[in-house]
Each structure stands twice: as C-alpha cells, then as structure tokens.
Amino acid sequence: MGFSERETLVVDANAPGAIVSALNRAGFEVIGPTVESGSVVYGPISTGENLPRGFTDTQEPGHYRLNPHADGSYFGYVVGPHSWKRYLHPPAVRLFAARREGKGFALEAQPQEAPPRAFFGVRPCELAAIARQDRIFLGGAQPDPTYRTNREGAFLVAVQCGRAGGTCFCASMGTGPRAAAGFDLALTELSDGGRHEFVVEIGSPRGRDILAKVPHRLATEDDLNAAAAVTARAQAGMGRSLEAEGLPKALLAGLESPRWETTAARCLSCANCTMVCPTCFCTTVEDTTDLTGDHAERWRRWDSCFTLDFSYIHGGAVRRTTASRYRQWLTHKFATWFEQFGESGCVGCGRCITWCPAGIDVTEEARAFRTGSAPKERT
C-alpha cells in the first residue's frame, strides 16, 4: 500500500511527545526506546524527553556504538539489543505455584493479566517479527495464554526507517525499511534542509482517535514524496544483503559441510544471537522449591539451542558440539522454519551480527552455502 492510499497526515517536531502523552491519557503504559548503558533499549517512557533524540549508532559485526548526532532527529538510530518479544514473550514467566496442604499440594494458577501497552518506535523489521511470533504463539490449536494476554490490545506506533545500519538486511527479507501494515500509527521523520516534521500514516481507528488529539494537517503530494524518499534512502544504504531464494535447499544439502566446523571454531556458544533475535522463541521449564518443601513453583524461561542442555534427553545431549548447535540454529532459521510456518525465521534486523562477540555474519554464512564456496579461515 502506498502512502497516498491510506489516510496520511503531517505533524510537527513535537508530535512524538504529544503522541506519548495522548497514549498515557488513554490508559496505555507506553514502552519505547531510551538510552541506557550506552545503547538504545526499550522501557517505560512517560514523555517525549525520554526518547533518544539526537543520537545515531554505528553497527558492524561484533560492534555497536551510540553517538550524538547534531541534527536533533528522534529516530536517527536503528535497532539495539532489545526486541519487543521481551514484553510479549517475557524472559521469565511463572506458570504456577503449589503449596503443601496436609498430605497433598494445592495448585495456584498464575493469573494472566497485563496492563494495556503501547509500543512506541517499532521498526518495520520488528513488526514483521511480531507477526511471526503471532503465528507461533497464537496460530495453533492451543494459543499461549501469556503471549495472548500481552498481545491483545497492544497499540503499535511504527517508525519507518530513514537510515540503515551496517548490519541491516531487511530489504533482502522483504520486511523493511518501510512497513505497509500491522500498525496503528506509522511515523516517517522528515529532518532535512531545516525541516523537521513527521508524516503519519493511520493504520487503525484507534490510531485515528489518538492522532485526533495531536495538532496535524493533511499531507500533500510533496509530503508523501518526501516520506517515500526517506525510506528509499534507507533501502539504498542497506549494510548487508542476503539472497534467500534457494537457501533452504542449499543449507539442507550441506548438513555435512566442513563449513560448520570452520564457523564453530569462532563461535562461543554464548547464545547472544538467540537472545537478541526478535523471533527466537525457545524456552526451558524449571521447578523450584523452598527449603521447607512447603512451596514450589514452575517457571518458563528463555533458552537457546546453543546451550548444551537444550537438546538433553535421557543419556545425554543430542547436540554435543558447537558445530552441531550452530548448524541447528542456522538451518532452523533459514530452512526448516519454512516447513513449520511457511516463511523464514529471519527478518533481517542484523542484531545477531552486531551482538555476536566473534562477529559471525549470517549473511556471509548463507552466501557460502548458496555459492558452495570453500570454508573461509579467519585469523
């Protein structure tokens, strides 16, 4: 859907704060980008002053730096280490508790409740990731109750990308740098030539109601063209590319390739890639008890196919080597995910490249399997 095919308005440079305030007044807890420990992370925000205005970032394999930016834009950076799944599919969830009663136990079900939340500053690749997790957690016969509670009613304010990071490859995956659907509001920041305004696309009646509380005007053709140029610039500056066609077949044909061992020699099995990935969803279950044995709890926590115990069955772990665990992750993300869900498990956000301590680049690994190139040694 093009800009001209949806109700599109223009607001001034103070609009992000005004939208946050309107969402707060509407009863939403607003979660958005803010600066913490030298990176852009997601957390509760109450005003536009909480947003990381005037910052940009540099990202390369194993490298992230947040730097001041003189133009005063609100969204001059790309994605950081957090993804929205931490609020939809939380890192730790108590499933139930039990207490001793006489000779037995009484179970206490975990209440399924969450405050109405608005996610402010959702990038197009992240909208695509949320859609994939919707399919995972809500698409089956037994929807996940925690995810469903957190997802229902979530208000999504998207931000169309005006620049691409050094590890971004969303254009290759068809998930950005512009989102066409899946949001209540979508902002495109115009901050060139002394101009600072936002083109806002309305994606839902709720979005229209919120924007009605913010001063605005109708977008002109010049505004629409300027907004289209912003995302075109981001697409032209994409830091990475990945040819997805034929990749599942190439990966599954190369299960015994020596490339896995070459990559494993660098991989630390730290699980950073799966923790920052906005679509990875693996978990483990832990049971805990107090010292008296009168109280016990069952928790679900994020886990990773890179941990040795993740593939444990009676007698030991199935995937004992780093090579086998890396192979499991890459082939699932880019090959067998299609068999499960009909699409790739990757949205091209580049987080796994940026936050890998060894700088392993999935686009480089994918290219090696597609082209059949020999393993590449690194010094």
Contacts of 178 (CB under 8 A, 6+ apart): 124, 160, 161, 231, 234, 235
Q: Are residues 213 and 271 in the same domain?
A: no
Residue 301 lies in a domain: yes
Please state the rounded mean pLDDT for residues 182-188.
Answer: 97
pLDDT above 70 covers a percentage of the chain that reads 97
Last residue of a domain, which of 195, 212, 236? 236
- Token code pair at residue 117: 């939340």
**Is residue 146 located within the same domain as residue 222?**
yes
**What is the average per-residue pLDDT within 102-129?**
90
Q: Tell whether 340 is covered by a domain.
A: yes
Does residue 66 lie within any of the structural domains?
yes
Is residue 174 over pLDDT 50?
yes
Q: Same structural domain for residues 276 and 325?
A: yes
Residue 288: which residues within 8 A CB-CB, separation 6 or more? 296, 297, 298, 299
Q: Mean pLDDT throughout 264-293?
A: 94
Q: What is the pLDDT of residue 5?
A: 46
Residue 379 has pLDDT above 50, yes or no: no
Structural domain containing residue 48: 3-236
Q: What letter represents residue 87's amino acid? A: Y
Q: Is residue 75 part of a domain?
A: yes
Mark whether 9 and 114 lie in a shared domain.
Answer: yes
In a domain, 70, yes or no: yes
- Return the ∠ at Cα 89 (arms to 87 and 94), rounded to 5°: 100
Same domain for 264 and 225: no
d(CA 333, CA 328): 8
Indicate whether 257 and 223 sit together in one domain.
Answer: no
Q: Domain for residue 377, yes or no? A: no
Shared-domain flag, residues 210 and 254:
no
Q: Indicate if 44 and 122 belong to the same structural domain.
A: yes
Does the structure show a pLDDT above 90 at 155? yes
Single residue among 236, 258, 292 that ends a domain in this structure: 236
Task: Indicate if 232 and 296 belong to the same structural domain.
Answer: no
At residue 48, does pLDDT exceed 70? yes
Question: Does residue 155 belong to any structural domain of this protein?
Answer: yes
Domain-located, residue 151: yes
pTM over 0.85? The answer is yes
Q: What is the pLDDT of residues 193-227, one digit of tens each?
A: 788 999 999 999 999 999 999 999 999 999 999 99
Same domain, 169 and 127: yes
| Structural domain count of the chain | 2
Same domain, 10 and 138: yes
For residue 312, name the pLDDT band (cuts at 50, 70, 90): confident
Domain identity same for 155 and 227: yes
pLDDT tens track for 130-152: 999 999 999 988 999 999 999 99
Q: Which of 204, 236, 268 is the last residue of a domain?
A: 236
